[in-house]
Amino acid sequence: MKMGLCFAWGTLLLAATSCVAHKQYRSDYSTEQLRQPPKSLASPHPVVDPASVSSKSREHRVFEVYGDTFKLAHIECDDQGSYWETTPDNVESVSGIRPGRGRNQIEFMEETLEADLAKNRARYRNGVIILAFAHGWNNNAQEKNDNLKNFRHAAYEVWKDENTKPGALKRPVIAIYLSWRGRVIPNATTLGIENVKGASFIANVPHYFSFWNRKGTAEEIGYRAMAESLKRISLIRRRFEEVEPRSDADKNSRAIIVGHSFGAAAVFSSVSRSYEDDLMELVYDHERRKKRPWVHRNWDLVVLVNPAFEALRYVTIARYSRDQRLASLAESQRVPYIYLPRMIVVGSNTDVPNKTLFPIGQTLGNLTTSTQKTPWIEQRGRLRTALGAYRPFATHDLVKSDNSNCPAMLRAIPLAEGKSGLGAMKPLSANEHGRSFMSPFQSQGVVDDASSIGPFMVAQADKAVIDGHGDIWNERFRIFITRLIEAREMTVNQMSRRN
């Protein structure tokens, strides 16, 4: 018994005094294509399956090349929200190095893509898919990290869907892994004692106390390097659009941003101001409503999964996206681009960290914070509750579906009678005229009612769709997101033909 206690307290001391290194993991600027081991079976596709590539060969790669049409770039930032800068051993071998400073990863990615675009313009005539992912707590850019492995696999599946299915546009896929120091203190898993009773719990205690530090860091990164990265990604998308021989309404290049947990908090910090400004202009600016009566297209779709930030931060978007003046604007327009999904928040009903640990952390972290409470402003609950778990802001439930095309479906939440306040307002939804434009969402099995689709949606997912905080890479949810994007593509094409 005494030995067990000594071991447990020794483990606690080790965890409390050790720290995960604050460093850049990716500093190899090689760009040659990664290869499969000689004895492995050859890939049937022109792109190498990342799962068949040696981890050692890409362990420090900034830019992973699996073929002409599938690449994965890394963008890392430090705890202060700045990009890491490195100076290669042979400075002259890497273009773009400026006197007195080193090379950062996003500049390298931009220059590499620009060079490929200049050399192979025909490759991008149908557009490009840019898929970016920001990880959450306990993750980083290490090769052995599960989030990186899962994202790499998911991006490859997107490439396969896009390039091997009949009728697909065969657009190249550029995956971007946005990383930061998500873990600062080792936990029971990293110490290899997750199955040791008592010791595993004690070892996790210091790790739990890193909640406030990592949440604050994620939000700081969101306002700085993450915001800059997402803006530059949107500019990269525009650069690829320039080579498409189509009108602006028919461009096929897409930029899709996904954030998970604290990574979703960082992404929201980056994009929320843009969305809030757009919504306020649509409500108050008459000239803006005439010239561009829809939410601006910086990113085609932002997906926040099990976001670890308070519902209070979503209030402005919730209020303006449900404003009656916006609904009236939508009904007055012949082509309802305003209905197109711009951001979808998905929170799992079995997300224990966000439903249990997050309120505890928020309560302890805001003991001296004052709030006001009225029928319209209920700040305390929104401050303590994660957005995905806050029912009054939910517009849909994400449920298991028997549809053979899409295994999960958005079901609109009916407005409860007798309720008042912000949480009781109906979300923006398509009227009878707009419903015909949104029909692809229903035909693809993404929603049960095409009129319930709008630019901002908050969905609460059943256990059968997302089970827990980290279950974001399962096949059912991945296919749902793929079908959502496909339905959005079909809707854009339908709108542009009728415009």
Per-residue pLDDT reduced to its tens digit, 72-82: 999 999 999 99
Label residue 81 left, alpha or beta by phi (over 0 means left) and psi (-120 to 50 means alpha): left
Residue 287, H or E segment: helix 286-291
Distance CA 289, CA 286 (A): 5
Reading the block at residue 123, the tokens are 């490759």
Which whole-number Å values give the CA distances from 475 to 79, 150, 164, 467, in the listed order?
33, 11, 18, 12
pLDDT of residue 20: 75
- Per-residue pLDDT tens over the stretch 99-114: 445 679 999 999 999 9
Share of the chain above pLDDT 70, in %: 83
Of the listed ranges 39-53, 195-209, 237-251, the least confidently predicted one is 195-209
Reading the block at residue 127, the tokens are 């557009």
Distance CA 495, CA 335 (A): 7
Confirm if 494 and 441 have CB atoms less than 8 A apart: no
Sequence-distant (6+) residues with CB within 8 A of 419 are none
pLDDT of residue 87: 64
Place of tokens 């919504």: 279
Which whole-number Å values give the CA distances from 422 to 277, 322, 362, 391, 393, in the listed order?
19, 8, 22, 12, 8
**Sign of the torsion angle spanned by Cα atoms 193, 194, 195, 196:** positive
Evaluate if residue 149 carries a pLDDT over 60: yes
Distance CA 272, CA 155 (A): 25
Q: For the purposes of burial, counting CB atoms within 10 Å of the CB of 484, is it exposed (0-12), middle (13-18) or buried (19 or more)?
A: buried
Reading the block at residue 456, the tokens are 């901002």
Distance CA 308, CA 264 (A): 7
Query: Rg of the chain over CA atoms, in angstroms?
Result: 23
pLDDT of residue 334: 61
Distance of CA 436 to the CA centre of its chain: 29
Q: What is the DSSP letter of 259?
A: E
What is the chain's length? 499
* pLDDT band for position 328 (cuts 50, 70, 90): confident
Which whole-number Å values give the CA distances from 196 to 7, 191, 193, 202, in the listed order?
10, 11, 5, 10
* pLDDT band for position 279 (cuts 50, 70, 90): very high
Sequence-distant (6+) residues with CB within 8 A of 300 are 254, 255, 256, 488
- Per-residue pLDDT tens over the stretch 169-210: 899 999 999 999 988 877 766 666 766 776 666 676 776 777
Confirm if 285 and 326 have CB atoms less than 8 A apart: no
Q: What is the full DSSP assignment across 88-109? A: -SSGGGSTTPPTT--B-HHHHH
Sequence-distant (6+) residues with CB within 8 A of 437 are 335, 336, 339, 430, 491, 494, 495, 498
More reliable by pLDDT, 91 or 336: 336
- Per-residue pLDDT tens over the stretch 412-449: 988 764 454 555 556 677 777 677 778 899 999 999 98
First to last CA, the chain: 76
**Sign of the torsion angle spanned by Cα atoms 207, 181, 178, 211:** positive
* pLDDT band for position 323 (cuts 50, 70, 90): confident
Contacts of 39-43 with CB under 8 Å at 24 or more apart are none
Q: What is the DSSP letter of 178?
A: E
Distance of CA 335 to the CA centre of its chain: 28
Distance CA 352, CA 463 (A): 12
Label residue 427 left, alpha or beta by phi (over 0 means left) and psi (-120 to 50 means alpha): beta
The closest of 236, 258, 237 to 178, measured between CA atoms, is: 258
Distance CA 451, CA 331 (A): 12
φ/ψ (deg, to 5) at 438: -90, 5
